[in-house]
Amino acid sequence: MGSQGKGGGKIGYWEASAIGVGGMVGGGIFAVLGLSVQLARGGTPVAFAIAGAVALITAYSYAKLSVRYPNRGGTVVFLDRVFGVNYFTGSANVLLWLSYVVMLALYSYAFGSYGATFFPGEHNLLAKHLLISLGIVGPTVLNVASAKIIGEAEIYVVGVKLSILLFFLAMGFGGVEPQRLAMSHWEPAIPLVAGGMIIFVAYEGFELIANTGEDIRNPKKNLPRAFYSSVIFVILLYVAIAVVCVGSLPIAELVGARDYALAEAARPFLGSAGFTLIVVAALLSTFSAINATLYGSARLSYVIAKEGELPAALERQIWGQPLEGLFITSGLALILANTADLSSISTLGSGGFLLIFAAVNAANLADAKETKCNRCLAALGAVACLAAFGAMAWQSISDDPARAWVLVAMLGGAFLLEGVYRLAGFKGLRKHKV
């Protein structure tokens, strides 16, 4: 259970880092950039940096726990091994699964929003919802038919989208107007922090590195390096993108194009061709992110069921795959993406992951004797995640109480699902090797 692994796996440092970068630079930056500008205004780069700092501190706990418990179950296994299989960990793991459902909704919402720019006028809204639905249904079919091929193509997709984003930065820095980024254009401290936390979903993908624990070479060395370098790279990338966007266009124009702000930011220095290039990159990126998230979340429900925290039906495989979990996940995401707005979806996703990451930091602190962690850093991570969640919740209540109730509903839903399952005949941890 506490094995360090022999280090003879197939995945090296660069591959693990690519998984982390690909997980973060999936659809998040395309989906939430405009929302961040709306909330933080000229302080958007600072908001991304604050959210990145919380992610980096949490990556420390993930690195320690991944070395201590190398396993494909990742977060689920960390919480269960440290705190035991109980109502708390069961609810937390269900919340993790629901948070992935929200991420699917966020990515598909972005896919539909960017794609709908090709259908202006009265057809825009209809096209947006059709594309949102296609963005979930299409990858679901691909996961059933040939998930292996799509998975093998993911590394090329990551390369293409990073190349386009770096090209965007190279062309855009020359046109940045520094006065647009002046502190006089920033939001006050608490709204600024809250803005960073609402778009925290743009960073959540680093935790996917934990799932490589059993397969990585020299895990004691490569896992921490992969966590830290991937998060630091993405922080720098996001802050640079935010600087170019806010420095190139008036805030009002970016907010007006909130759902496709990154493409709109390319117009001043790349023209219509640049707008189209970013839209294509967004479609490619969000579609691949949906596919990867579907693949992972379906297996996440399978792992949680294996741990005895969801019904055993979700363990059942069809054609060698956990398809019941896949279909349930897709169906929930399809409903959410077509009925909620961007702010609500992003708030749900960020809130869920901040609480899960707080629990992971707490697990590292509780297991400090075995993980050999710095207790102060682990405690700081837990406090930072909870404080960030509090700032985000406060801002949500102040701006739109209905959005806060949606967050309460998701959290309550996780505890309710676990409670109902237990009342229906929970028997304890089933003895499976995850």
pTM recorded for the entire structure:
0.86
As a whole number, the mean pLDDT across the chain is: 84
Using the predicted structure, report yes or no on whether residue 432 has a pLDDT greater than 70.
Answer: no
**Can you tell me the distance from the alpha carbon of 190 to that of 112, in angstroms, rounded to the nearest whole number?**
31
Instruction: Give the angle subtended at the CA of 384 by the CAs of 382 and 390, to the nearest 5°.
Output: 105
Task: Give the confidence band of 429 by pLDDT, cuts at 50, 70, 90.
Answer: very low
Does domain 13-423 fall under CATH 1.20.1740.10? My reply is: yes
- Contact 384/54 with Cβ under 8 angstroms? yes
Calculate the alpha carbon distances from 379 to 56, 64, 99, 363 in Å. 14, 14, 23, 10
Task: Give the confidence band of 2 by pLDDT, cuts at 50, 70, 90.
Answer: very low
- The winner for highest mean pLDDT among 67-81, 368-382, 412-426 is 368-382
Structure tokens at 12: 């090296």
Calculate the alpha carbon distances from 283 to 31, 101, 140, 278, 420 in Å. 11, 19, 16, 9, 39
- pLDDT score at 1: 42
- pLDDT score at 279: 94
Q: Is 122 exposed, middle or buried (0-12, 13-18, 19+ CB in 10 A)?
A: exposed
pLDDT in tens, 283-318: 988 887 887 777 766 666 666 666 565 555 555 554
pLDDT in tens, 247-294: 999 999 999 998 999 999 999 999 999 999 999 999 988 887 887 777
Q: At a CB cut-off of 8 Å and minimum separation 6, what does 417 contact? A: 91, 94, 310
